[in-house]
Amino acid sequence: MKSWKDDPRADTNPIFNDNPLKLGVFGLNGIGNNMSNAPETPDADWDESVLVSKLAEDAGFEANVPYSRWRGYIEEEPAHRSGLAMDSYTWAAATSQVTRSAVFATSHVPTIHPIAAAKQCATIDRISGGRFGLNVVAGWNKPELDMFGAAMKDHHDRYAQAAEWIEILRELWSRDDTFDFEGTYYTIRKGISLPKPIQKPFPPIMNAGGSDRGREFAAKYSDMAFVIVRSDDVDQMRQETDLYRRLAREEYGRDLQVWTLAYVVQGDTEQDARDRLDYYVVEHGDDRALDGFMKMHNMHSQLMPKDVMEMMKFRLKAGHGGYELVGTADQITARLEKLSQGGIDGVLLSWFSYEDGVKRWIRDVKPQLAQAGLRAG
């Protein structure tokens, strides 16, 4: 296993520590990562962000990652709460002052010019003392892109634009002289950005890409490749994670971490956890937001068997299709061990009630992970 402490950014950024399984909290800047109208779900409240960010630091989490959203999923109701999210850049800058975890911004490439993004990232890296990271999204939400007057490009072109975007960021972050850039999507004349980030050579990049083109992009540019775990089979997980690492190493001479997303529902018994899950997914699930999301992605019931579609809908409402961590502390620990055995380096976690969930995690799961050798005590 690679020691990430060899990376010079390990001096300031905790995502390069030696914990075999790194952890982060996801979605605090908005309504979380579920589609639920349960009253316990977050509401883009800054006081809650502060409280839970401090709890996550107490839990030893390495990362705190917001999402980026500009409008709701329901086309005829753009002010629907599914679009409720504080801006991820300013949220990251503020959050860096209340926690020692790494703080990320999530940036959809077509919504911000790379010169503006480069300066904002460098500023947050300096504010945080070198603990910033950038989650780069090529752009998938057509109604949001329409708001910006940015045409929805095909799959290949989205990644081609994102590649130019990152190449420009890297130049701006590292060069002291001006430079020109002539690309398909951007033209830069005598570009420069000051001050530079603390982290060298650049702040870490996170990116999710499941297609062949997305995987190639992540292997070339990402420090943290983000995957959706689709199977409980350790060997299948390992095939997927090894594919990313092998491509990064053999094609680009790079090492990267592989992270995934999971939703957590912890109970004193498995039945208690299942009842909690049903409460916010079945009793209070936001089916209108789910329908809007599925229309946006052209997910139609006729494209797959009914039972598969229903399971997909359930997981989307529970935690955006993430890996399930539902049950007792013992069961959650066992499933995290399985992820680690499958080659996963880190997991971004979400709860429908963050404060209660992270407190339970600190009390019951944290010591078990230390005992299992997945994390320092």
CA–CA distance, 171 with 176 (Å, rounded to integer): 9
Polymer length in residues for the chain: 377
> What is the overall mean pLDDT for the chain?
92
Residue 235 CB neighbour total at 10 angstroms: 9
Q: Tell me the per-residue pLDDT of 264-308, one tens digit each, with 9 for 90 and over.
A: 999 999 999 999 999 999 999 999 999 988 887 765 444 456 667
pLDDT of res. 80: 84
- Confirm if 200 and 9 have CB atoms less than 8 A apart: yes
DSSP codes joined into one string, 343-361: T--EEEEE-SSHHHHHHHI
pLDDT of res. 301: 47
Architecture of domain 4-371: Alpha-Beta Barrel (3.20)
Residue 40 CB neighbour total at 10 angstroms: 18
> Helix, strand, or coil here: 106?
strand
Please say if the pLDDT value at position 214 is more than 90: no
Please say if the pLDDT value at position 323 is more than 80: yes
> Helix, strand, or coil here: 108?
strand
- pTM for the model stands at 0.94
Q: What is the mean pLDDT of residues 17-37?
A: 96
